Amino acid sequence: MTSAHNQTSRAKLEAVRADAQRGNGVLPPALRAAVFSYASARAMQKSSEKSSEMSGDASALPDSVRAFVDAVLARAVSADVDALKREGRSDDFIYELSIVAAVAAGSARGIAGLALLDAKARAS
Amino acid sequence: MRIDSVFDNASFGTKLKTKLIAAAMGGRENFPEIIALFMYRPAFFGRAFLDYVQHVLRGPSWWSVGEREVIAAYVSKTNECRFCLESHRAVAEEAVKGTAAEGAVAEVLADRTKGAWRAELKAALPLVEKLTRAPHEVTAADVDAVRAAGVPDDAIEEVMHVVSVFNMINRVADSLGFAIPPPAAMQKGGKRLLTHGYKT
């Protein structure tokens, strides 16, 4: 059983994830959900695996969006942002895409770690 | 910052706050752009995130504030996020002044087995690195190795939350391209974060 402090940490982590998935924004809800799902799954995949080999729904993402999310998961640079700008994407679109992908990828790591602790606690 | 809207479309109050903070920091070049990001659309990203960060890095913990800041910097180093690495290295250095670990932050970041740090922290850093670099490879054996060093499960969970926070913000920082203030400004920012924490 996790401490009260850690239970609160888990609740606060969920609040961050909820804002990224459901807060008001310019990304259409279906696209945002697809980005979050894709980034979460991709974060837990070997970097050498292709996006087509994974369980997340990569096909729901336009190619340029998928490429940008992949860049955020690895390490995005100016050229990645510039590519979306050339395509006519707004600053808020890029901002939200960055946040959603980053929150999904970061929290997926934390959640994977917590799952290991929870499995051990259940077994003992 | 690669997204102009964060500054251009900010509210009048936020623009004023940005100017005041920049003035207090000694100029626009010393202003940490991450502050503008958190003020831009806090309901989307900022308010809940900083609440989580404050709880994880400054709430009660088995780990000292300095140790948690080292873990934060270690995640950032693993992700090659220079902005977050420099920021949290500065906070860690301030946090351990007057302790056995004073002056040993750079040492442990360069080699996780080095420096005057608790053995428990050094035992946790391989898990931090693996969870950051290759989360699909982390197994119960990696957690067991930290337990074997005497770290209780609640403390390991606290580490997981630091890993979670910095794997998020490292990616935001690199994607949006925060400018890196000069070392003196980073040091000043480190002192401020140590004193005031991450509260909005």
Q: What is the pLDDT of residues B190-199, one digit of tens each?
A: 998 999 999 8
Low-confidence winner among A1-5, B18-22, B105-109, B185-189 (lowest mean pLDDT): A1-5
- The pLDDT score that the predictor gives to residue A56 is 56
> Is A12's CB within 8 Å of B52's CB?
yes
Q: What is the dihedral of CA B13, B19, B24, B25, to 10 degrees?
A: 120
Kind and range of the H or E run holding A26: none
| Nearest-CB residue to A109 (from B131, B156, B172) | B131
How many residue pairs bridge chain A and chain B with CB atoms within 8 Å of each other? 176
| B171 neighbors B78 (Cβ within 8 angstroms) | no
- The pLDDT score that the predictor gives to residue B30 is 87
| Nearest-CB residue to B131 (from A71, A76, A113) | A113
* Confidence band, pLDDT 50/70/90 cuts, at residue B130: very high
> Is B44's CB within 8 Å of A77's CB?
no
Q: What is the pTM of this model?
A: 0.94
What is d(CA B45, CA B50) in angstroms, rounded to the nearest whole number? Answer: 9
| A21 neighbors A100 (Cβ within 8 angstroms) | yes
Residue B27 corresponds to which amino acid?
G
> Is A9's CB within 8 Å of B55's CB?
yes
Average pLDDT over residues B131-154: 96
DSSP classification of residue B2? -
Average pLDDT over residues A46-58: 60
- The pLDDT score that the predictor gives to residue A58 is 66
Sign of the Cα torsion B66, B70, B73, B75 reads negative
Q: Does A54 score more than 60 pLDDT?
A: no
Chain B nearest-CA residue for A47: B134
What is d(CA A80, CA A68) in angstroms, rounded to the nearest whole number? Answer: 6
Q: CB distance from A113 to chain B under 8 Å?
A: yes
Average pLDDT over residues A60-89: 95
* Confidence band, pLDDT 50/70/90 cuts, at residue A23: confident
- The pLDDT score that the predictor gives to residue A48 is 63
Mean pLDDT of chain A: 90
Q: What is the dihedral of CA B178, B181, B187, B190, to 10 degrees?
A: -20
DSSP classification of residue B64? -
pLDDT digits (tens, 9 = 90+) for B13-53: 888 888 898 888 888 888 888 988 999 999 999 999 999 99
Phi, psi of A75 (to 5 degrees): 180, 100
- The pLDDT score that the predictor gives to residue B161 is 98
Tokens matching residue B100: 């056995």
What is d(CA B126, CA B108) in angstroms, rounded to the nearest whole number? Answer: 12
> Is B157's CB within 8 Å of A18's CB?
no
* Confidence band, pLDDT 50/70/90 cuts, at residue B143: very high
Q: Which of B148, B142, B167, B136 is nearest to B56 (CA)?
A: B167
Closest CA–CA distance from residue A47 to any residue of chain B (Å): 8
Quickly tell me which residue has 């998020």 as its tokens. B168
The residue among A65 and B200 whose pLDDT is bigger is: A65
ipTM: 0.93
| Nearest-CB residue to A98 (from B9, B165, B172) | B172
Quickly tell me which residue has 């999904």 as its tokens. A104
Closest CA–CA distance from residue B4 to any residue of chain A (Å): 7
Q: Put residue B111 in one of left, alpha, beta given phi > 0 → left and psi -120 to 50 → alpha.
A: beta
> Is A114's CB within 8 Å of B157's CB?
yes
Q: CB distance from A74 to chain B under 8 Å?
A: no
Longest CA–CA separation in chain B, Å: 54
* Confidence band, pLDDT 50/70/90 cuts, at residue A53: low
Q: Does A51 score more than 60 pLDDT?
A: no
Share of residues in chain B with pLDDT > 70 (%): 100
> Is A2's CB within 8 Å of B157's CB?
yes
What is d(CA B185, CA B37) in angstroms, rounded to the nearest whole number? Answer: 18
Tokens matching residue A52: 């087509």
What is d(CA B110, CA B91) in angstroms, rounded to the nearest whole number? Answer: 17
- Please tell me the number of Cα atoms within 13 Å of A64 on its side-chain side: 13
The pairs formed by B137-140 with CB atoms below 8 angstroms and a separation of 24 or more are B138/A112, B138/A113, B138/A116, B139/A116, B140/A116, B140/A119, B140/A120
Cβ neighbours of residue A94 under 8 Å, at least 6 residues apart?
A68, A81, A84, A85, B2, B3
Quickly tell me which residue has 């994407």 as its tokens. A89
| B188 neighbors A122 (Cβ within 8 angstroms) | no
- The pLDDT score that the predictor gives to residue B134 is 95
The residue among B2 and A124 whose pLDDT is bigger is: B2
Q: Does A1 score more than 80 pLDDT?
A: no
> Is A105's CB within 8 Å of B164's CB?
no
The radius of gyration of chain A from alpha carbons, rounded to an integer in Å, stands at 16
Residue A11 corresponds to which amino acid?
A
Tokens matching residue B170: 């490292």
The residue among A100 and A25 whose pLDDT is bigger is: A100
